Structure 1
Amino acid sequence: MTATATAPSGAKIRVPHFVRGKLVYGEDTEYHSRDFGVPFVTPRLELGELFVPRTEPGPAFDVPVSEIIDYLVETGKHLTLEKNAYLQESLEMTLRVSALPRRIIENTFRRPGQFLTREALEYRIERTFGGGAVLDGWAEHTDPAGRVSRVRAFPPRLVHMLAGNSPSAAMTSIADAALVKAVNVFKMPSADPFTTVAVLRTMADLAPDHPVLRSMSAVYWRGGDARVEGVLYRSQYFDKLVAWGGGDAIANAAKYVAPGFQLIAFDPKVSMSMIGREAFESEDTLREVAERAATDATVFNQDACVAPRHICVEGGLAEADRFAALLCERLGVDREFASAAGPRTPSDVREAVDGLRFLEPDYHVWGDYDGRGLVVRSPEPVDFHPTNKTVNVVPVEALADAAAFATVATQTVGVYPAHRKAEVRDRLATAGVQRIVNLGGALSGSIGNPHDAMYPLHRFVNWVVDDDA
């Protein structure tokens, strides 16, 4: 397992493509990274090489899912940063384009190990499909009238717009694509055009001609390039576009939806927290709750959908202010996926907060703009987008009242104490919320559950019926 030398600081980064099992280097096209505008170069994009014609089955269409799991489990054993030269190279290049520090990026590389175990992968298949039979062949059923049919979760042809806020997203997306035996094109994000190829190179070292590997291509083009997307985003070649991204990226992707070509959108979400009166039972309890809330709010320095932007506190101004002061202290702490001082507060947020400082006592501000944490208490959610470790605290008379601030764009809601989730979960679900967790558990998650109100693998496949009726 040997990686090429990392480009010296200041030089253009060479980003290889991986096309249906083959590594491709080239310096034909220059792009720039999302956050810092760092230049990188890629090979020429040969669109005709990225897909298997519909007249042919995909390489992995008839590979038993048990064999695919074997391959993924073995791959997972080799995705160890300390021993994997490809991941090490990817790390060094990611550091040049990412706003996250080395320690946090290293931790993200280690995170997917818990999802690439045999037990976890088999559990996901069982939870989503009731077992692998419907993936491996035609599962026969007889309806109440005695009519027989056979159903298969048929392997799809997918284009993936990968998320760019965590290297672990590339690893889990590859695993998902493999489990459904898809033909895949991964559009790598400009914030991390490295990790996807690093994982595929690891898989190639283990089994260079494996059907799963020959089903996968990882390439880069600038998002929104109609010369590329106008060709690939067609039902002649692919069934579905699996899109992670911001509002503009998802809106652009939606333009290509047409009969036979679907969009599965993991569109931009925000999260919030709800804290009950029980948090004020003692000073120690309040400090624990503030720590839990800060742990959630600082995931990837708040550059994650699960990180709450707004926190509703059951109580009056005095309770909200006690909590907000403690929260501000805990935002400026090093954690596994957060740094004590993150990127400074962006100018638009600074300008909005500066205006609110003149509106005491309805509004109050704790902290500064140095990236260590900023808390704004307001009578209702602020009309700007809190980011870079900025949290909006809103007092409410009753915990259930906070559900009025949730919308279909609200992904995760952390609740304290845990037993009060049952009190608010139906209201939250009615508002459009997709996930309710214990406060402090936003980044954690049970394996096999829905994501963004769907079972993704269930959506990926093409459900086909052979009906005798």
Structure 2
Amino acid sequence: MSTSTTAGARTTIRVPHFVRGRLVWGEDAEYMSRDFGVPFATPALRLDELFEPRTRPGPAFDVPISEIIDLLVETGRRFVLETNPYLQESLEMTLRVSPLPRRVVENTYRRPGQFLTREALEYRLRRTFGSLDVLDGWVEHTDPAGNVSRVRAFPPRLVHMLAGNSPSGAMMSVADAALVKAVNVFKMPSGDPFTTVAVLRTMADIAPDHPVLRSMSAVYWRGGDARVENVLYRSQYFDKLVAWGGGEAIANAAKYVAPGFQLISFDPKVSMAVVGREAFASEERLREAADLAAADATVYNQDACVAPRQVFVEGTLDQVDRFCALLCERMGVDREFGSAVGPRPPADIREAVEGLRFLEPDYRVWGGHDGRGLVVRSPEPVDFHPTNKTVNVVPVLDVLDAAEHATVATQTVGVYPAHLKAELRDRLATAGVQRVVKLGSALKSSLGNPHDAMYPLHRMVHWVVDDDA
């Protein structure tokens, strides 16, 4: 990435494309970034260069998975911000378009390396597929009737619609695409049109003509541009669209679902937290619960699906108010992936909250609109979407009642104390929840687990059977 000055003294960021192993520069089209409207220019998009005809296999289809793991492990070793010039350049550009402070973005860039070790990658593949053999060839099975068949997790052809709220998402998407040996087109997001190319350039320094790199293209077009999507989102060229994004983006992607072209959707999700009455056993435990809830709620300053918007607290009104006061205080603290002061809440939230201040004692508000944290206590969940470090606290008579407020759109539920997870998890899962964690652990995860109620790699591959029955 680099910058150039355009008319009106605006500084436009030059964003290259990466097309099947080649870095492509150009300033043929200009766009605006998501949050601040910063202009960036890209090369012309040549659609015929982005796909491999179905008459021949993709470059990585028959590359042994062990060789691909070797490449990803070496890439992970080079994800060191202090020594990687592409990540450094991408960081500087990201800071121009991101509402997050430098410290948080730097921490985000350092995160994926821990998942790109040989042990981590092989463990995840075994959890997903049972063995690595099914990725490399046809694995034979004999059923109880003596029928023989052979199954392969065949490499797919994928378009990836990336999310723009975290650079680590782009890094892991590239790794996932490599593991399933796919032919890939990454649609870079306007909130981060930099990181994906930086990752691919890092890989190119390791093995410039590697089949995995020749299977990958990272380009930008404005989401919803039918001139592009009517061509690419078709079964003639691709099998599946792996889509991350908000409701409008996912709804647009769903329009293209057709026989032979599937949607793997990581829908827009919200998260919540549940705090049991044990939090009020002592002042120390109350402070612990409030701090853990604040840690989760401020992940990327709440611009993350794992960050809770509502916290359901079991206790009397006085107890819940004590929790709210401490929660608001602890939200105004610098953390590894959140800042003490974030962007101000949007105007609709500010207006709604100011109206609620007149409805005490049923409603009560702590904090202000300065980005340090805002807590609204209400008898039922508020009718606006809490964001920008805004948390809605709802008192409940019993922690089990919190499950009534979970839906299929609820991704993660943080629970305090941890032993209550066993009591809540079946009710939460029945409501549609996909993940239950200890409060304070929303961003942490064990390796090899499902995401959004599925094993993504399992969904990405094209399962084929050669049956002798």
Find the counterpart in structure 1 of residue 393 from structure 2. Answer: 393
Deviation at 1:196, TM superposition (A): 0.2
Deviation at 1:316, TM superposition (A): 1.7
2:65 equivalent to 1:88: no
Find the counterpart in structure 2 of residue 254 from structure 1. Answer: 254
Deviation at 1:10, TM superposition (A): 4.4
Query: For each residue in 1:51-91, what CA deviation from the matched residue of structure 2 results, as whole angstroms up to 9, or x when unmatched?
Result: 00000100000011111000000011111110000011000
Find the counterpart in structure 1 of residue 367 from structure 2. Answer: 367
Find the counterpart in structure 2 of residue 435 from structure 1. Answer: 435
Take 1:6 and 1:34, find their aligned partners in 2: how far apart are those partners? 18
Take 1:82 and 1:7, find their aligned partners in 2: how far apart are those partners? 25
Find the counterpart in structure 1 of residue 413 from structure 2. Answer: 413
Find the counterpart in structure 1 of residue 184 from structure 2. Answer: 184
Find the counterpart in structure 2 of residue 20 from structure 1. Answer: 20
Take 1:356 and 1:208, find their aligned partners in 2: how far apart are those partners? 59
Q: Is the 8 Å Cα contact of residues 301 and 342 (structure 1) preserved in structure 2? A: yes
Q: Is the 8 Å Cα contact of residues 6 and 93 (structure 1) preserved in structure 2? A: no
Take 2:280 and 2:10, find their aligned partners in 1: how far apart are those partners? 52
Find the counterpart in structure 1 of residue 463 from structure 2. Answer: 463
Letter in 2 for 1:28: D
Letter in 2 for 1:182: A
Q: Is the 8 Å Cα contact of residues 324 and 377 (structure 1) preserved in structure 2? A: yes
Take 1:196 and 1:121, find their aligned partners in 2: how far apart are those partners? 20
Query: For each residue in 1:185-213, what CA deviation from the matched residue of structure 2 results, as whole angstroms up to 9, or x when unmatched?
Result: 00000000000000000101110000000
Find the counterpart in structure 2 of residue 120 from structure 1. Answer: 120
Find the counterpart in structure 1 of residue 304 from structure 2. Answer: 304
Task: Give SS of 1:304's match.
Answer: coil
Deviation at 1:6, TM superposition (A): 5.0
Take 1:467 and 1:419, find their aligned partners in 2: how far apart are those partners? 47
Letter in 2 for 1:293: A
Find the counterpart in structure 2 of residue 47 from structure 1. Answer: 47
Letter in 2 for 1:184: N
Task: Give SS of 2:452's match.
Answer: coil
Task: Give SS of 2:338's match.
Answer: coil
Take 1:187 and 1:372, find their aligned partners in 2: how far apart are those partners? 34
Take 2:319 and 2:404, find their aligned partners in 1: how far apart are those partners? 20
Find the counterpart in structure 2 of residue 271 from structure 1. Answer: 271
Take 1:387 and 1:5, find their aligned partners in 2: how far apart are those partners? 32
Query: For each residue in 1:311-354, what CA deviation from the matched residue of structure 2 results, as whole angstroms up to 9, or x when unmatched?
Result: 00011211110100000000000000011000011100011111
Letter in 2 for 1:358: F
Deviation at 1:450, TM superposition (A): 0.1
Letter in 2 for 1:331: M
Q: Is the 8 Å Cα contact of residues 6 and 89 (structure 1) preserved in structure 2? A: no
Letter in 1 for 2:150: R
2:134 equivalent to 1:134: yes
Deviation at 1:441, TM superposition (A): 0.2
- Unaligned ranges ≥5, structure 2: none
Find the counterpart in structure 1 of residue 174 from structure 2. Answer: 174
Q: Is the 8 Å Cα contact of residues 147 and 468 (structure 2) preserved in structure 1? A: yes
Take 2:357 and 2:167, find their aligned partners in 1: how far apart are those partners? 38
Count matched residues: 466
Find the counterpart in structure 2 of residue 216 from structure 1. Answer: 216
Alignment of 1:218-367 (within 5 A): 218-367=218-367
Query: For each residue in 1:258-296, what CA deviation from the matched residue of structure 2 results, as whole angstroms up to 9, or x when unmatched?
Result: 000000000100000000011001001100111100000
Q: Is the 8 Å Cα contact of residues 332 and 372 (structure 1) preserved in structure 2? A: yes
Find the counterpart in structure 2 of residue 160 from structure 1. Answer: 160
Letter in 1 for 2:238: F
Take 1:322 and 1:86, find their aligned partners in 2: how far apart are those partners? 47
Deviation at 1:35, TM superposition (A): 0.4
Take 1:218 and 1:413, find their aligned partners in 2: how far apart are those partners? 34
Task: Give SS of 1:243's match.
Answer: strand
Could you tell me the TM-score, scaled by structure 2's length? Answer: 0.99
Task: Give SS of 2:419's match.
Answer: helix
Deviation at 1:234, TM superposition (A): 0.1
Letter in 2 for 1:335: R
Find the counterpart in structure 1 of residue 60 from structure 2. Answer: 60
Find the counterpart in structure 2 of residue 102 from structure 1. Answer: 102
Deviation at 1:5, TM superposition (A): 4.7
Letter in 2 for 1:465: V
Q: Is the 8 Å Cα contact of residues 137 and 152 (structure 1) preserved in structure 2? A: yes
Q: Percent identity?
A: 81
Task: Give SS of 2:212's match.
Answer: helix
Task: Give SS of 1:217's match.
Answer: strand
Q: Is the 8 Å Cα contact of residues 76 and 114 (structure 2) preserved in structure 1? A: no
Deviation at 1:367, TM superposition (A): 0.2
Deviation at 1:7, TM superposition (A): 5.1
Task: Give SS of 2:34's match.
Answer: coil
Q: Is the 8 Å Cα contact of residues 406 and 432 (structure 1) preserved in structure 2? A: yes
Q: Is the 8 Å Cα contact of residues 3 and 11 (structure 2) preserved in structure 1? A: no
Query: For each residue in 1:132-169, what CA deviation from the matched residue of structure 2 results, as whole angstroms up to 9, or x when unmatched?
Result: 10010000000000000000000000000001000011
- Unaligned ranges ≥5, structure 1: none
Task: Give SS of 1:418's match.
Answer: coil
Q: Is the 8 Å Cα contact of residues 244 and 265 (structure 1) preserved in structure 2? A: yes
- Shifted more, 314-323 versus 290-299: the winner is 314-323
Q: Is the 8 Å Cα contact of residues 2 and 14 (structure 2) preserved in structure 1? A: no
Query: For each residue in 1:338-390, what CA deviation from the matched residue of structure 2 results, as whole angstroms up to 9, or x when unmatched?
Result: 11000011100011111111111000000000000000000011110000000
Take 1:300 and 1:79, find their aligned partners in 2: how far apart are those partners? 20
Query: For each residue in 1:371-422, what CA deviation from the matched residue of structure 2 results, as whole angstroms up to 9, or x when unmatched?
Result: 0000000001111000000000000000000000000000000001101100
Task: Give SS of 1:296's match.
Answer: helix
Take 1:275 and 1:17, find their aligned partners in 2: how far apart are those partners? 47
Take 1:398 and 1:5, find their aligned partners in 2: how far apart are those partners? 56
Take 1:114 and 1:323, find their aligned partners in 2: how far apart are those partners? 35
Find the counterpart in structure 2 of residue 384 from structure 1. Answer: 384
Q: Is the 8 Å Cα contact of residues 290 and 327 (structure 2) preserved in structure 1? A: yes
Task: Give SS of 1:165's match.
Answer: coil
